[in-house]
Amino acid sequence: MVTWNRSTVRNDDVELAVFHLDAPDAADERPTVVLVHGWPDSHHLWDHVAPALGEHFRVISYDTRGYGESTRPDEVSAYRLEHLASDLFDVIDEVSPGEPVHVIGHDWGSVQLWEAVTTPGAQDKIKSFTSVSGPNLDYLGEWAQGNLTNPTPGNLGRALSQLASSAYTAFFQVPVLPQAFFNAFGSEKIWTEFLHAVEGTPRENVSFAPTLKEDMISGLRFYSANIREKLAKPDPRPTTIPVLELVNERDIALRPAIYSRSHEHANKLWRKNSDTGHWLPYTNPDYLSESAREFIQMIEDGTSSSPNTIDRARRLGPAQKLGGKLAVITGAGSGIGRETAYALAELGCEVVLADINAASAEETAIECKAKGVLATVYELDVSSTEAVNEFAERVRRTHGVADIVVNNAGIALAGSALAASEEQVDRILAINLRGVIAGSRAFGRQMVERGTGGHIVNLSSASAFTPQRDMALYSATKAGVLMFCESLRAELADYKIGVTAICPGIVHTNITSTTEIVGLEDADGNRKRIDDFYARRGFTPDKVAKDIVKAILANKAVVPVTPEAKFGYLSYRLFPWGSRLAARVKLAK
């Protein structure tokens, strides 16, 4: 159990119960962090977050007015956001006189912190703000009105999606009924089971004040006092205080699209998206505390970037679906790997680029950095499982746990399977199949342990389902990748980790010009003819990269890319005998 040390702060007629994680110590010079809860919680919301933060900072929380051990004014007007912001400033003056603090807010706690950081002079009291599942209501009103005045199908769809998610707020503002409902069903047991059913919140992580039912009813005044006015007459004010938005993509109440205007008003904005739900302090307290710690330390150090956190002030906008995510790409020095790195960087990902040829990966990194993101290069030979495991651990220590992993590195081998040497067989198996398995396992374990989802993309090939007489060994490795992906996808589904097999057909990359050909005369001539054919085909790797991005966003299982790959995927399932006959055609002479 967490032990909180209680004190009291007064703001006119309101007494606020303030809680210190440790006994107040005037000699403690660590940065101060103030945690602000939302509905229907109390300071106990932070019981599983505060200890991790307490290893680095002075941690303070308080029961906001209307909750827990604080005063519950009767007048609805007493719960307007300007009064809530005033409460916060009084708490800060008491716990950290003359020194600005870092603030973290969830739900209505985040909403009132947005009000505070957009109040003139707030920079004298607040050093940074980590926002979880709570928008600026003025920005939300501006977003909603913009979608309604520009009623494109996309805008209307986003607005209707949020309207459906927020339907409960209308019920909360109806007289009498919501009070009666929570009086009847607002028990700790029912609420615990609700959270567990809705987003899998571990029952043992849920911490409530003894006043939970009273808090549910009293907290309804937050909705009545603020929502209608803010949505009808938004007054979006700017802030210069650094803000980190932790966006939960499975939030049942708040759709990610509503944060798309934040960057227009917060000129120092960072963002991290994760496949998580609304009650992040309960479901993933370690992820929340580590993300906040990284961000706060970054601000304290005066730097512009930190592990897994990207400075989005210049480019963050509605299109930055992957903004703030960490992507790892192997074989990033050329071809599909390079173009995938460009595509992910364009969408706001920090990219970690691995290649056996570090110099070529450095060239990729230069272009990625030009797109405004962090890019780091590592030399890696994926044929060594030990090297892959060491690389994954180094990425975790240096950058954080990857959100996206693209196991792209691969080689080709053409000609007779019987004529290939044992060394050639071992090498193609080690790189194309074992390398993919090693990368998926190493990074997959980290994603599972973190508990906030992720996505693994593995490069298979149309050769996985279109047999060819001169590509037996290559096809075997790619078929192995395909079935590995299908099976791993099933295994990781419970952890919200997607797995995709990308199956390109004829794509012109440098792999064709370096393909080893065995068992045939005039290997150099055959290689040139194959390379020339691929060049004439004209399907470039950037088109594959676009499909990879689409697959990540849509969480697709198997993606045949080129027209011939799509035809081959269909025909092999419907007419396998036709594929077997076609396999007898000689591609090389």
Active site residue ranges: 474
Give the position of tokens 């792209």: 408
Give the position of tokens 């074992």: 434
429-433-436 Cα angle (round to 5): 140
Per the CB < 8 A criterion, the answer to whether 127 and 100 are in contact is yes
Encoded tokens for 74: 């009767």
528-534-537 Cα angle (round to 5): 140
Encoded tokens for 286: 């370690």
**Contacts of the segment 220-224: beta carbons below 8 A, 24+ positions apart:** 220/172, 220/173, 220/178, 220/179, 220/182, 221/66, 221/76, 221/78, 221/79, 222/39, 222/66, 222/79, 222/108, 223/169, 223/172, 223/173, 224/76, 224/79, 224/172, 224/173
Residue 51: CB partners within 8 Å, gap ≥ 6?
2, 21
Structural Rg of the chain based on CA atoms? 27
Phi, psi of 18 (to 5 degrees): -110, 140
Give CA separation, 338 vs 247, 251, 341, 343, 509, in Å.
28, 33, 5, 9, 11
Instruction: Give 262's DSSP letter.
Output: G
CA atoms within 13 A on the CB side of 572: 18
Phi, psi of 19 (to 5 degrees): -125, 130
Q: Note the residue count of the chain.
A: 589
Encoded tokens for 197: 């059913």
Exposed (0-12), middle (13-18) or buried (19+): which is 437, by Cβ within 10 Å? Answer: middle
Per the CB < 8 A criterion, the answer to whether 587 and 533 are in contact is no
Upstream peptide bond of 40 is cis (omega within 30 degrees of 0) = yes
Reference 352, options 301, 401, 389; nearest CA is: 401
Residue 565: CB partners within 8 Å, gap ≥ 6?
462, 466, 503, 504, 505
Reference 589, options 536, 540, 539, 521; nearest CA is: 521
Give the position of tokens 């007629």: 13
Per the CB < 8 A criterion, the answer to whether 270 and 309 are in contact is yes
- SS3 of 133, please? coil
| Cβ neighbours of 483 (radius 10 Å) | 12
Beta strands 14-20 and 58-62 are: antiparallel
